[in-house]
Amino acid sequence: MPELPEVETIVRSLRDGGRGSLSIMGKKILKAKVSWDRTIETPSVPVFKKRVINQTVLDVSRRAKYIHIHLSQDSLLIHLRMSGDILVGEGIKPLGKYSRMALFFENNTQLSFENPRKFGRVWLLSDTDKIFKDLGPEPLDPEFSPNLFFEMLRSKKRQIKPLLMDQKFIAGIGNIYADEALNLAKIHPATSSDSITLKEARKLLKALNEVLQEGIRRNGASIDWVYKGGGFQNYFRVYQRTDEPCLACYTPISRIVIGQRGTHFCPKCQPDPNS
């Protein structure tokens, strides 16, 4: 559930403070606590706990759905998967109920990786290439052109929605923003990617930019009981609006399953090209 806009919101609050959070920029790590060992994908927990100590946060950025904490020696990557959140506060007491990993900084500041369903993972690496090299382009990158997007779509023969959610194809899009963007672009989620015209590709890329930027502007969506703070859930066009009227034409929103994922769309605005 945390997708590009939610991760971007968290990254910004880690970097700049705000959203009830303290900035971790420039802070030195004094100690790490791991309360569920499998949270740490690499290295081993003992090595991880030893290696992060005395490293300082130089920057925080985002690539796809990864939070990238640039430390003085290494990169700390956090992927929230579907139920993760990051809390930053003061003191050494656990900040939340589901803390799986916590970093304790100088100045009494703590970062907690909250992860109730234990899907999220943490990496400590000297080189992020191994993780980042297989990721597709960032949809919000101004260099990512409609022409390139069109060529990419044409070179595949896949249903458009699962393709948009494939991180190797394009980065950062999950179930919510895929449904929202396809609705805005008036494209049926099962449309074969190679049947999408240049005009439609242009419209879809524009729609992706719009929904992702709206998500960021509203600090993400608080659709789960885990990630809090965002307000985009109040502006969904189709996601989790099954049987409710389409905002454009009042037709009840349909829900089908595509690629094992709940998929919401307007049957009138987004007609199935195969029927």
Partner DNA sequence: AGGGAAACCCGAACGC
Partner DNA sequence: TGCGTTCGGGTTTCCC
12 is catalytic: no
Q: Assign residue 118 a region: left if phi > 0, alpha if psi is -120 to 50, beta otherwise?
A: left
Rounded to whole angstroms, how far apart are CA atoms 120 and 89? 20
Q: Which is nearer to DNA, 167 or 209 (by Cβ)? A: 167
| Angle formed at CA 143 by CA 76 and CA 123, multiple of 5 degrees | 10
> Which of the ranges 20-28, 113-121, 196-204, 267-275 carries the binding residues for DNA, by CB under 7 A?
113-121
For this structure, is 65 an active site residue?
Answer: yes
Quick check: 161 binds DNA (CB under 7 A)? Answer: no
Token pair in block for residue 266: 């307007």
Q: Which of 16, 18, 38, 54 binds DNA (CB under 7 A)?
A: 38
**Of 42-50, 211-219, 223-231, 246-254: span binding DNA (CB under 7 A):** 223-231
DSSP string, 65-119: TEEEEEESSSEEEEE-TTT-EEEEEESSS-SSTTEEEEEEEGGGEEEEEE-TTS-
Per-residue binding letters, 243-262, with DNA (x by CB under 7 A): ---------------xxxxx
Q: Which of 31, 50, 130, 157 binds DNA (CB under 7 A)?
A: 157
Interface with DNA, residue 117, by CB under 7 A: yes
200 binds DNA (CB under 7 A): no
Which strand (E) or helix (H) includes residue 261? strand 261-265
Q: Pick left, alpha or beta for residue 24 (phi over 0 → left; psi -120 to 50 → alpha; otherwise beta).
A: alpha
Which of 3, 8, 74, 180 lies at the binding interface for DNA (CB under 7 A)? 3
Q: How far apart are CA 114 and CA 54, in angstroms?
A: 23
Count other C-beta atoms under 10 Å from residue 206's C-beta: 14
- Under rule CB under 7 A, residue 119 binds DNA: yes
Q: How many residues bind DNA (CB under 7 A)?
A: 35
Binding test (CB under 7 A) with DNA, winner from 162, 189, 215, 230: 162
Tokens 């997007």 locate to: 149
Which of 12, 79, 203, 241 touches DNA by CB under 7 A? 79
Give catalytic status of residue 261 as yes or no.
yes
- Least distance in Å: CB of 54 to DNA? 30
Among residues 40, 95, 122, 165, which is the contact residue for DNA, using CB under 7 A? 165
Cα–Cα distances (Å) from 17 to 93, 156, 221, in that order, read: 20, 41, 19
Q: Minimal CA–CA distance to 85: which of 19, 172, 166? A: 19
34 near DNA, judged by CB under 7 A:
no
Among the listed residues 60, 43, 37, 63, the one whose alpha carbon sits nearest the alpha carbon of residue 111: 60
Among residues 23, 61, 167, 233, the one that binds DNA under rule CB under 7 A: 167
Nearer to DNA (CB atom), residue 56 or residue 240? 240
Task: Give the binding site for DNA (CB under 7 A).
Answer: 1-3, 38, 64-65, 79, 81-83, 116-119, 156-159, 162-163, 165, 167, 174-176, 192, 223-225, 240, 258-262
